[in-house]
């Protein structure tokens, strides 16, 4: 009888999974139910002009948090696909690199409100009589705040694949697709995951603008945390703002524990080193998942089906599959493409000259160029100060996995904290103590973008091979020699990626940080950001276009003459 009692439960467990499967089941079911409910609410019937109810009652915060988080994860998935496609094309085809990399420079310098004004009408037209069109516009706006950072990270990872791994891929005769799937994407994955965290947190900065959409002279406030914060600011309800900050903290802790921490622990197997890693992160959920039976079988089945689908797609589109970049590309098509690009550039310049002569005048151009110089000086100084602070901190966190796991959620929350909530405090302090707005409004530009530096440096430091750490220790490297020969070269590619995205984000943030209002008080710093904000307030569209165009020129010029050269230096000398 005792044997039967012991044998029967064991058979039931083997047939229905072990205890870890049953313990994980409520979490999985809860996630699916919440996703289904949130998706159903996003596709509700809606007619333009209808008012969506919003309240500051804290009991509605979980619902608003669900809607915002679902939008951000949908945008995150689209950003991941975009980043992989962008990195693959720009590293395989020189022609694509010449066009797509400068285009990404332009896109990251365009304010998020510019994307919304262009796309919202088109999305609403795609889904008439349904809220899904407005939701797609909000998701696209969040996508524009996430994708550029992740694309630059994937681009940097693909371009800095170690030479010995590239040679091994040639020896094993890997196809372009196999090289992408087996070498480039796994090598770039650790840094890409850290940039995913930064992009997720950075999306909170733009969530207010993305959920309050203006179309046909009316404002549509989608249910979410952004609309909740906007309503709290309108009503000067400090208690509601406190509840919003608390809800954001809960959200950051949840998706850190349930999503990012398991991914980082899983991605540790992609680190490039020859010895065992002593810097791996741990995740209770990943450990839990590895102890399951049925759940692992379901995950493996889904992975196999995905691999088969990709293989079928690759075989049916063999002529358009990703190919490795050829060492000696054909000269004639390259020259033809260069001629087409030159023609487009000359046409754009002619249109620009015609626009200036007829709409704004050359004196206005000179004035805006000088304002751009002021903003550029602020960006350079602030980035240098941020680097002095966050590079040592990021290296220390990245090389100490125990502290990395402890500070990861804190860093995500600080990066997710909407910097525009600090602006009223800055206005009050500057007015009270009669401070110079040109100086004291400047730090507001870097509040939300300094975290790009920190997260990228952490990513670079966490992927330093263990054998390299032991070698530096055995050689007794200390002081400035240790920084110059070991630490700075090891994190330099990641630092350049973070600096590019932080620089572009700072230019974008200048629009809201150089022209700040709180009640009847408005402070303005001299710069191109305040110029664009002021012209937007007055509705002067030619000068808005002039300000955004010159800002794009500054961003592209800085990226081409500074960051691209540093990228080349990172590829040739300063990386391991």
Instruction: Give residue for tokens 């390259």.
Output: 334
| The dihedral sign for the CA sequence 241, 245, 246, 250 | positive
Cα–Cα dist 184/195, whole Å? 16
Q: List the beta bridge partners of residue 517.
A: 522
Hey, what are 381's tokens? Answer: 């100084």
**Which residues lie closer than 8 Å to 233 by C-beta, 6 or more apart?**
241, 421
pLDDT score at 315:
46
Q: What distance in Å separates the CA atoms of residue 77 and residue 90, rounded to the nearest whole number?
A: 20
C-alpha–C-alpha distance, residues 202 and 418, integer Å: 9
Which domains, and CATH codes, for the chain?
17-271+280-326 (1.10.3720.10), 333-576 (1.10.3720.10)
Residue pair 291/20 in contact by the 8 Å Cβ criterion: yes
Q: 55: alpha, beta or left, given left = phi > 0 and alpha = psi -120 to 50? A: beta
For 393-436, write each residue's pLDDT tens digit: 999 888 887 777 677 667 777 777 766 667 777 888 888 888 88
For residue 14, the model assigns a pLDDT of 46
The token pair that represents 413 in the structure block: 């929350």
Contact call for residues 550 and 528 (beta carbons, < 8 A):
yes
The helix/strand count (H/E) of the chain reads as 27, 4
Task: Measure the CA–CA gap between 439 and 447, rounded to whole angstroms.
Answer: 15
Q: What is the pTM of this model?
A: 0.75
Q: 446: Cβ–Cβ under 8 A, 6 or more apart, which residues?
A: 382, 383, 385, 386, 502, 506, 509
**Can you tell me the distance from the alpha carbon of 207 to that of 139, in angstroms, rounded to the nearest whole number?**
10
For residue 526, give the 3-state DSSP assignment. coil
| Three-state DSSP state, 237 | coil
For tokens 């992408």, the residue is: 180
- Reduced to 3 states (helix: H, G, I; strand: E, B; else coil), residue 224 is coil
Distances (CA, A) of 32 to 70, 120, 559: 12, 29, 42
According to the model, what pLDDT value does residue 63 have?
92
Helices (H), 291-330: 294-316
CA-wise closest residue to 184 among 169, 196, 194: 169
Q: What is the mean pLDDT of the chain?
A: 78
**pLDDT tens by residue, 565-574:** 887 777 676 5
Written in H, E and C, the secondary structure of 432-468 is HHCCCHHHHCHHHHCCCCHHHHHHHHHHHHHCCCHHH
Decide: helix, strand or coil at residue 57. Answer: coil
Per-residue pLDDT reduced to its tens digit, 116-143: 666 777 788 888 888 888 888 888 888 8
Asked if residues 80 and 149 have their Cβ atoms less than 8 Å apart, the reply is no
Q: Are 388 and 416 in contact (CB under 8 A)?
A: no
Low-confidence ranges of the chain (pLDDT < 70): 1-17, 109, 111-118, 209, 214-218, 271-281, 299, 302-338, 340-342, 344-345, 348, 405, 408-409, 418-421, 518-519, 539, 571, 573-576
**Beta partners for residue 516, in sequence order:** 523
Q: Please tell me whether residue 194 adopts helix, strand or coil conformation.
A: helix
Residue 65 and residue 152 in contact, taking contact as beta carbons nearer than 8 Å: no
Annotate 231-256 with DSSP letters as a single string: HHHHTT-HHHHHHHHHHHHHHHHHHI
- Predicted local confidence at residue 376, as pLDDT: 92
The reported pLDDT for the residue numbered 197 is 83
CB atoms within 10 A of CB 431: 13
Q: What is the DSSP letter of 544?
A: H
Residues forming beta bridges with residue 219, ordered by sequence position: 214
Residues 485, 573: Cα–Cα separation, whole Å: 11
**Strand, coil or helix: 223:** coil
Place of tokens 């896109």: 107
């Amino acid at each position: 009888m005792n044997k039967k009692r012991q044998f029967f439960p064991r058979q039931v467990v083997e047939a229905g999974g072990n205890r870890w499967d049953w313990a994980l089941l409520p979490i999985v079911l809860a996630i699916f139910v919440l996703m289904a409910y949130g998706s159903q609410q996003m596709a509700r019937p809606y007619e333009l002009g209808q008012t969506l109810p919003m309240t500051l009652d804290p009991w509605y915060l979980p619902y608003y948090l669900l809607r915002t988080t679902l939008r951000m994860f949908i945008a995150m998935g689209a950003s991941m696909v975009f980043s992989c496609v962008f990195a693959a094309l720009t590293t395989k085809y020189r022609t694509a690199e010449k066009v797509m990399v400068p285009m990404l420079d332009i896109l990251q310098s365009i304010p998020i409100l510019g994307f919304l004004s262009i796309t919202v009408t088109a999305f609403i037209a795609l889904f008439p009589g349904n809220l899904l069109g407005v939701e797609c516009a909000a998701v696209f706006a969040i996508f524009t705040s996430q994708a550029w950072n992740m694309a630059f990270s994937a681009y940097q990872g693909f371009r800095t694949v170690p030479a010995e791994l590239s040679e091994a891929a040639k020896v094993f005769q890997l196809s372009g697709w196999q090289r992408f799937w087996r070498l480039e994407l796994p090598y770039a994955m650790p840094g890409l995951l850290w940039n995913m965290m930064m992009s997720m947190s950075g999306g909170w900065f733009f969530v207010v603008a993305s959920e309050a959409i203006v179309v046909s002279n009316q404002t549509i406030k989608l249910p979410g945390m952004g609309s909740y914060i906007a309503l709290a600011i309108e009503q000067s309800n400090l208690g509601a703002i406190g509840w919003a900050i608390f809800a954001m903290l809960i959200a950051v802790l949840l998706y850190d524990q349930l999503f990012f921490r398991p991914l980082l622990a899983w991605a540790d197997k992609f680190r490039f080193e020859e010895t065992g890693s002593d810097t791996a992160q741990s995740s209770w959920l990943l450990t839990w998942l590895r102890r399951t039976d049925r759940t692992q079988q379901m995950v493996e089945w889904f992975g196999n089906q995905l691999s088969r689908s990709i293989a079928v797609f690759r075989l049916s589109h063999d002529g358009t599959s990703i190919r490795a970049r050829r060492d000696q590309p054909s000269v004639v098509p390259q020259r033809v493409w260069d001629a087409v690009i030159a023609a487009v550039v000359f046409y754009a310049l002619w249109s620009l000259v015609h626009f200036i002569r007829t709409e704004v005048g050359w004196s206005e151009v000179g004035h805006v160029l000088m304002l751009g110089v002021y903003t550029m000086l602020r960006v350079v100084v602030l980035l240098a100060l941020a680097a002095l602070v966050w590079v040592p901190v990021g290296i220390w966190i990245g090389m100490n996995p125990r502290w990395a796991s402890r500070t990861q959620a804190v860093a995500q929350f600080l990066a997710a904290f909407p910097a525009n909530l600090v602006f009223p405090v800055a206005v009050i302090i500057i007015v009270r103590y009669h401070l110079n707005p040109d100086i004291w409004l400047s730090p507001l530009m870097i509040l939300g973008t300094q975290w790009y530096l920190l997260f990228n440096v952490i990513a670079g430091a966490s992927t330093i091979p263990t054998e390299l750490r032991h070698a530096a220790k055995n050689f007794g490297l200390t002081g400035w020699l240790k920084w110059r020969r070991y630490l700075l070269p090891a994190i330099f590619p990641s630092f350049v990626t973070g600096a590019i995205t932080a620089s572009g984000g700072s230019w974008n943030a200048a629009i809201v940080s150089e022209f700040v209002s709180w009640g009847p008080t408005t402070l303005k710093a001299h710069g191109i950001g305040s110029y664009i904000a002021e012209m937007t307030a007055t509705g002067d569209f030619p000068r808005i276009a002039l300000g955004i165009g010159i800002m794009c020129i500054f961003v592209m010029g800085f990226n081409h003459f500074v960051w691209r050269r540093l990228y080349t230096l990172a590829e040739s000398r300063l990386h391991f």
